[in-house]
Structure 1
Amino acid sequence: MSSGGHLGVVEQAIKSMITVKDYIHVGMETTRDLADDFVDCAKGSEKQIEELKSIMLDYVNMERDLKQFLEAVEEVKDQASNTNENLNLESMLDNKLKSIVGSKNNPPSEEHPKYQDLIEKIWEIQNPGAVPSSAPTQEMVVDEDLAMTQSEQSTRCPYTGKDMVIPVRNRHCGHRYDKDGIMHYIKTKKSKAKCPVGGCGNTNPMVAADLVEDHELRRIIERKNKQANKRSKQRD
């Protein structure tokens, strides 16, 4: 098979790997969401809590390995697309992957934001109402309020004007919307439904298949709501 034929296979493989990446992120979110039930049932069982942490670390490592693999594939694809020679893509990919893995100075998996978020969640469940030893100073509280104000716009749906509940991202332009709101928009406008963000250069008609759930933004929204509830209780 020519390099051109192989490239078609590579393109399909990349699409499959991106789907795997989405599954990994869903797994991370599910692991975090299950912490409530898991820790309540396993309170006092350090072994089971450690197993939950281990699952998250497995996802972190899979995400890292997949990222490196995709990076290697993209580089090999670029090289192959610039020549008409018959290349041994498998050998090129193997060498490129070894080069990338060897040159990367990856931080410990325990420093990954998703793992740290899980640790924080477990601590909060095991210590209800407790204040962490590193209590925020007044300056930190002001900074946090400022950050909340700055992020308010990004958590508002550009179509409904309300805070998003389940944020989804447009595959074509990257803009985010509330799932229920944008689905109603698509259903109403049908083939005339375009990205509602002003000045967006994406002219593709919107369909449900273009939307993917943004788990990272959803976590930010949940944390924002949690902080707002804490402030409300403190005022009471």
Structure 2
Amino acid sequence: MTQISYQMNEFQSSMQSIEQKFDLIHRTVKETLSDLNLGFEYLKQSMVNNKEETPDEIGDFKQKIIEEVLKECETMNRTLKDLVEITNNCKDFQEKEISIRRKLTDDPENFDEKNLKELIQAKATQRNIDDPRYLEIVELLENAKNGDFSSGDDIVMDAPTTQIVKCPITGKAIENGVKNTLCDHMYEKSAILHYIKTVKHKRCPYAGCTQKVAL
């Protein structure tokens, strides 16, 4: 019985490790797409600021970036599908583990290695892919294939506001505003983009606000 309990505890540890890896991939994909979206904002600024570069040259450069990103998206998507299958199998084994522990508790004298093998080798249940983290990533990657690299979580470009709102970074009235959807604070677009690029801990620059500005 000690060996069986040890093996089941090892299984629980493996489950936790898989969950941590899933969260890491989920976070990495979102951060990558958010960084790409930010990069394209700088690219737009470059088209305005650098008179020597033509729109065609900038467009070609952007297209090369998109092609490389889509290759990475396909690789990440395949990895995620494999991970989802592993996660679903782990859920199935988790249910089996509950059944095993119940049998061990209810009738320990009649439980042997044969019972354990039968439970483990039972055919896995077919499951739908319903993990919200996976579904979110699939949607993000699909949007990326269509040219939208925004993660949609933090910064949303808004139309210029008619209210007089001062940017916490520049101290001046906002002319081309962006909104943080976590706290609804507004910033001057160029100022917050520079802030995100240069500041390590990307907290909202409004005094007293603890929300993040970027992923």
TM-score by length of 1: 0.44
Select the structure of larger CA radius of gyration. 2
Higher helix share: 1
TM-score of the pair, normalised by structure 2: 0.47
Higher relative contact order, structure no. (Cα contacts within 8 Å, ≥ 6 residues apart): 2
